[in-house]
Amino acid sequence: MTDKSSGGGTASDNPATDPEASVRPGDAAEMSAGGEAIDPNDHARVAAEYKDKLLRVLAEMENLRRRTAREIADTRAYGISAFARDILAVADNMDRALQALDAELREKADAGVKALLDGVDLTERELHKVLEKHGVKKFEPMGAKFDPNLHQAMFEVPDPSVPAGTVAQVVQPGYMIGERMLRPALVAVAKGGPKQTAEPPANDNVGEPTPQPSA
C-alpha cells in the first residue's frame, strides 16, 4: 500500500506530471485579439473573433498587393537608371563633337566632312529618341530661375540684363527619368541683375479724389 502522504502517489494522482491531465480539445478557451479568453461555447463571439481576424488578413493582403504593384511599376520605370546614367556620357561626347564646328566652318567643309557631321547629328537624335522612349528626357534650363533641385551652379556670371538668380548659361544639360532627377543640369547663374520688385496692390480707385462726407 502506497503512502500518499510521503509523496509516493501514482503519476495519475499528480496533474502536473500526468499527460492525460492536460487540457483536452474543447476545454481550451479561444483567445481574442486582445489576449482575452473566450468561451468556446459562445459561438457568436467566436464567430465575430474569426471574422475580425479574417478582415485583418484580407487588409494585410490588399496592402501587400498594392505595395508589390507599386514596386513593380517603380522597377519598370527606374530600373534602367544606372544604365541610362552611363549612356549620358555618350550623348555628351556626341554633343561636344557637333559643337566643335560652328555653322560657318560647316559651310566651308568638304562633302566628306559634312556627311560625317550629318551622321553624328543623326546618331545623336536617334539616341535621344531611344532615351525618351524609356522615360529619359533632356532639359536645358536656359533663362529659367535657378532651382537647386534641378540645377547645380558652377559659377556666377555678372549680367545686369536679367534678374539675379537666373540661369545665364547651361554648361551641361540635365536629364529626368520619369518624375525623378537622373542628372542635374550644370549651369552658370546671373549675378548683380535687377531685383524682383513686388507688384503694388490692385486699386481701381487710384488717382480718383477721396469722396468727402456730406454735411
Q: Is the dihedral of CA 125, 127, 132, 133 positive or negative?
A: positive
- Quote the distance between the C-alpha of residue 75 and its chain's center: 12
Residue 125 lies in a domain: no
* CATH number for the domain harbouring residue 179: 2.30.22.10
Residue 114 lies in a domain: no
C-alpha cell at 141: 534650363
pLDDT at 16: 46
194, 163 Cβ separation under 8 angstroms: yes
State the amino acid at position 206 in one-letter form. Answer: V
Q: What is the pLDDT of residues 74-91, one digit of tens each?
A: 888 888 899 999 999 999
State how many domains the chain has.
1
Residue 145 lies in a domain: yes
92, 172 Cβ separation under 8 angstroms: yes
Residue 181 lies in a domain: yes
Residue 175 lies in a domain: yes
- d(CA 28, CA 39) in angstroms, rounded, equals 8
- Domain of 175 in residue numbering reads as 135-195
SS3 162: coil
pLDDT at 184: 95
Q: What is the pLDDT of residues 13-54, one digit of tens each?
A: 554 445 444 444 444 445 555 566 767 777 888 888 889 899
Q: Is 138 left (phi over 0), alpha (psi -120 to 50) or beta?
A: beta
Strand partners of residue 180: 177
Residues of the chain with pLDDT under 50: 1-12, 15-17, 19-29, 198, 206-207, 213-215
DSSP secondary structure letter of residue 166:
B
CA Rg value for the chain: 39
Distance spanning both ends of the chain, measured CA to CA? 128
SS (H, E, C) 89-112: HHHHHHHHHHHCCCHHHHHHCCHH
pLDDT at 63: 95
